[in-house]
Chain A
Amino acid sequence: MTITLVHYLVLAAILFVAGLVCLLVKRNAIGVLIGVELMLNAGGLNLAAFARFNRSFELDGQVFTIFVIVLAAAEAAIALAIVLNYYNNATSIDIEKAQELQG
């Protein structure tokens, strides 16, 4: 049984669902961020797999994956800055206690 596109897509689906579970279950704000990183990785893996198995998408897929990685870096930087700022103000990063952020 050779490895086909579907194998990669199923693996990416598992990664995505693990990220979703992590996002929903963690009460620590940094845990939520880790879940988002997992989901973004699943998207990147999907793009890379399609780039490999569809010749005309070969370069575009890699470029998109690099964009996803850069956006993930930007998102991590801004989210961690917000978490640190919130921790400075509330001395807690439990998101169940962060009710006043609802505005």
Chain B
Amino acid sequence: MSLPDFIFWCLALLTAGSAIATAVSTQIVRSAVWLMFTLAGVAGLYFLLGFEFLGATQLLIYVGGILILVIFAVMLTAQGSFSQMPASRGHWLVVIVIGGGLLAVITSTLLSTSWEGFSASPLTKQTDTSNSDGLALTFLGSSQGEAAHPLPAVPGQIKHIVHSLFVFEIISVHLLVVLIGAAYLARARRARREAA
């Protein structure tokens, strides 16, 4: 077993185990901590795939941002230390049947599909030398180096050009709107709270 494969198995075990622990643990703080390990494991998988920029983004935004937000929300809404809200036994049974069925369907479909043409190839020069350069060019709508690799699975593919700039602008405005909305929703309303 080569070293990358060994690292993959370690990261996969960490990620899957923490994800299951996230779902199973009854205390919300423990769920949040297990979520942190899951997110870190996924970031490690991005690094292993060779996408350093993605891994760094995952660490910065998820582990550094969203998780802190979640933990603050837990602290702000805590009702007594270690409050638990366990689900009933019948509820668990139904959920396990649904989850197990979905997992069986997805896995059997994946294993019965032939994945010819999808093999690990060395990263192209564009991303190999400096990963973020290629990404930045893609965001700007540059098609440099893209047309040389038409999709293998689809014959007669039209020239493959990336236009991510428009989506990038939309997502920027979307983020701004959402953050203003969140600040508006979550602002302290002291008068109302005292009345209640």
Contact residues of A: prevailing secondary structure: helix
Contacts of B16 in A (CB 8 A): 11, 14-15, 18
CB distance from A41 to the nearest CB of B (A): 5
Known contacts A59-B127, A94-B85; decide if A38 and B19 are in contact (CB<8 Å): yes
Q: How many residues of A contact B (CB 8 A)?
A: 76
Contacts of A54 in B (CB 8 A): 117-118, 151-152
Contacts of A85 in B (CB 8 A): 185-186
CB distance from A18 to the nearest CB of B (A): 4
Contacts between the two chains (Cβ within 8 Å), count: 247
Contacts of A76 in B (CB 8 A): 66, 69-70
CB distance from B49 to the nearest CB of A (A): 4
CB distance from A2 to the nearest CB of B (A): 6
Those of B81-130 within 8 Å (CB) of chain A: 85-87, 91-92, 95-96, 98-100, 102-103, 106-107, 110-111, 115, 117-121, 123-124, 126-127
Those of A9-23 within 8 Å (CB) of chain B: 9-11, 13-22
Which residues of A are at the interface with B, using a C-beta cutoff of 8 A?
A: 1-11, 13-22, 24-28, 30-31, 33-35, 37-38, 41, 44-45, 48-60, 62-63, 65-67, 69-74, 76-78, 80-85, 87-89, 91-94
